[in-house]
Structure 1
């Protein structure tokens, strides 16, 4: 008889894992700001055991605990709202506009949270119920005091910093901010990775037909539609190169449940689902062809006035050349033989179409296409 554990939990979807990881950055920033506020507050009050503005009892341990823990919680909520919902609402806006509007939105959210937190703190310190007159009166005095205004100004500053960190992390790429911060690739590392090069079919003729400005908007929409399939397949966007996008996985993660293949078919499905929009808006339905390969790369930080984490190794050149063969074999997806052997890609069916000696390579490379 099959026994089901009471403590077994369903596995989180990779997209939600990504959201939680990104939200953690907000939680850390807010927790630090809460801790700093608690220290500053103690420095200002000195030996006082009450708040002069409200005559409410003050206790350093509970104050800094509430400020740090409360900051961490509100930061996590802020992060989840940002990465799971609000970020997508401002993708077409300028950076300054996004920061200003979203800061005002979150500031209103923070005011409500601070009032709730103040009520809880007063209730604890005064040993009274949340709705008692003495607790409500204390919160009311706090709300109309200069102390409350100073807290809001401090929170607004924290929001701006958190939003800047958030935007910077999107510019650097998923996970790259933490890699830079922790110095993971300050010393070059060797890694086994899977790479997928996706390139838009007939991109030159499409650009000439619709004009380069409109073509750029087409690319931006395509890459936006690819976001969820990439997250769902636990992929990392390595580079955008013109109309080409390079996606990467650590070897085990890319192979797990066929993530690297699911990513391609998820992208194709997302673009097809929006075919009516693309046809109406741009006059074409974009199709991307892909080459996928695996191998060892060296990963590390490079640059002085502009730093970047890059991958170097033969696998990248080979993957690009495999992708370049899609047209020759009338295939939208080509795998290297080494990757096909490693994946054993059930339930997808592939057939070997060539054993090519690619330009610049000593050994030939087997190519597999969808049946």
Structure 2
């Protein structure tokens, strides 16, 4: 049983690539340095002492710590701070900020390296002479440019990951869906209530701003309950789980109520900025889908199967039954088999558009 929550797991998975990128960069730097210096005991340009063993330890430790530090700072603070900026502006602003940190970090690292090499302290004259030689040399600028390049690559990776989805990007890298595979998945089609009326009241631009805020505010609830955002379709969001994750602790159902609670907590903000608190309804279903990479000009991981159409039609009946949730009978049975904590009420059999057989639908009471 995992003791790490999905939110913390997502945080770790977003930070770790920074550490990996910097470790790889550190190894490449060490190999290039050793290849150029060979058996030399000094750096030719600065005349500072060169020790391979010390260089390996200091480079790898500092690269790992610096990578994880930047990754943590980026994910926790900077990424949110610049969320309203364009992709290019975010990269430029962040790199400019990190440049000052890199210079400070390099000076500190070099100082430690010289203290270790001379077995002395920061007040030793040899440390300051070597530090001055390092800072005023072209080698210093080269190292800065090298590190800034790695930071740029790391930031680019994070931005791409956030734009297409971390799990989607990981699946592209691993090739999980390079060939079509079949999976049992749960789907939730979540649709905003009275969206047309709200859009007419707010106007297109203000409505779009509200929609962006709305999606941002319910995102943590989706992550916390192990959901995968499959699609945003206007004011509708499609969330998916593999069968095991969706059934575990009623994740697929609890996600709905967690999103509802997240919006209620932000009610003052919505009423002040938009004059309305958005609410939503959802349809739930599960079944077999085929998943795989598709597209030539633009690749995407696509789910296909009757379960998606059926879930959309179930959600479309929420207004007819005047309920916020509608769940298919087969998903309710799966939840009950998994000892669900929720109580389900049957609403009887109904015919879904395009379906010959009737389906029993349930809601939560």
Q: Which band: TM-score by shorter chain?
A: over 0.9
Query: CA-to-partner distance for each residue in 1:190-225, whole Å, 9 max, x for gaps?
Result: 112111111111111111121111111110000010
- What runs of 5+ residues in structure 2 fail to find an aligned partner? none
Q: Does 1:283 align with 2:299?
A: no
Q: Normalization by structure 2: what TM-score?
A: 0.92
Deviation at 1:121, TM superposition (A): 3.0
Classify the secondary structure of the residue corresponding to 1:115. Answer: helix
Query: CA-to-partner distance for each residue in 1:242-271, whole Å, 9 max, x for gaps?
Result: 111111111111211121122111111111
Q: 1:359 aligns with which of 353, 357, 364?
A: 353
Q: 1:347 aligns with which of 341, 352, 358?
A: 341
Q: 2:248 aligns with which of 229, 240, 256?
A: 256
In the alignment, the residues of structure 1 paired with residue 256 and residue 52 of structure 2 have an alpha-carbon distance, to the nearest angstrom, of: 55
In the alignment, the residues of structure 2 paired with residue 14 and residue 223 of structure 1 have an alpha-carbon distance, to the nearest angstrom, of: 18
Runs of 4+ more than 4 Å apart: 129-133
Deviation at 1:46, TM superposition (A): 4.0
Higher mean C-alpha deviation, range 338-347 or range 169-178: 338-347
Residue in structure 1 matched with residue 203 of structure 2 by the alignment: 211
Residue in structure 2 matched with residue 173 of structure 1 by the alignment: 165
In the alignment, the residues of structure 2 paired with residue 341 and residue 81 of structure 1 have an alpha-carbon distance, to the nearest angstrom, of: 44
Query: CA-to-partner distance for each residue in 1:135-175, whole Å, 9 max, x for gaps?
Result: 45433432333221111111111111111111111111121
Classify the secondary structure of the residue corresponding to 1:196. Answer: strand
In the alignment, the residues of structure 1 paired with residue 364 and residue 9 of structure 2 have an alpha-carbon distance, to the nearest angstrom, of: 30
Q: Does 1:265 align with 2:257?
A: yes
Residue in structure 2 matched with residue 67 of structure 1 by the alignment: 59
Classify the secondary structure of the residue corresponding to 2:69. Answer: helix
CA contact (8 A) 1:31 1:70 kept: no
Q: Number of paired residues?
A: 363
Q: Does 1:153 align with 2:157?
A: no
Q: Normalization by structure 1: what TM-score?
A: 0.91
Residue in structure 1 matched with residue 114 of structure 2 by the alignment: 122
- What runs of 5+ residues in structure 1 fail to find an aligned partner? 1-8
Classify the secondary structure of the residue corresponding to 1:234. Answer: coil
Residue in structure 2 matched with residue 112 of structure 1 by the alignment: 104
Change (3 A) 1:121 1:189: farther
CA contact (8 A) 2:191 2:280 kept: yes
In the alignment, the residues of structure 2 paired with residue 243 and residue 222 of structure 1 have an alpha-carbon distance, to the nearest angstrom, of: 9
Classify the secondary structure of the residue corresponding to 1:361. Answer: coil
In the alignment, the residues of structure 2 paired with residue 17 and residue 131 of structure 1 have an alpha-carbon distance, to the nearest angstrom, of: 43
Deviation at 1:132, TM superposition (A): 4.6
Classify the secondary structure of the residue corresponding to 2:134. Answer: helix
Deviation at 1:336, TM superposition (A): 1.4
In the alignment, the residues of structure 1 paired with residue 8 and residue 190 of structure 2 have an alpha-carbon distance, to the nearest angstrom, of: 24
CA contact (8 A) 1:350 1:370 kept: yes
CA contact (8 A) 1:292 1:323 kept: yes
Classify the secondary structure of the residue corresponding to 1:348. Answer: coil
In the alignment, the residues of structure 2 paired with residue 197 and residue 130 of structure 1 have an alpha-carbon distance, to the nearest angstrom, of: 62
Q: 1:93 aligns with which of 67, 74, 85?
A: 85
Higher mean C-alpha deviation, range 33-42 or range 136-145: 136-145
Higher mean C-alpha deviation, range 51-60 or range 187-196: 51-60
In the alignment, the residues of structure 2 paired with residue 364 and residue 138 of structure 1 have an alpha-carbon distance, to the nearest angstrom, of: 82
Q: What is the alpha-carbon root mean square deviation over aligned residues?
A: 2.1
Query: CA-to-partner distance for each residue in 1:215-239, whole Å, 9 max, x for gaps?
Result: 1111000001011111111211111
Deviation at 1:65, TM superposition (A): 4.9
CA contact (8 A) 1:33 1:68 kept: no
In the alignment, the residues of structure 2 paired with residue 305 and residue 49 of structure 1 have an alpha-carbon distance, to the nearest angstrom, of: 53
Residue in structure 2 matched with residue 368 of structure 1 by the alignment: 362
Classify the secondary structure of the residue corresponding to 1:327. Answer: helix
CA contact (8 A) 2:249 2:340 kept: no
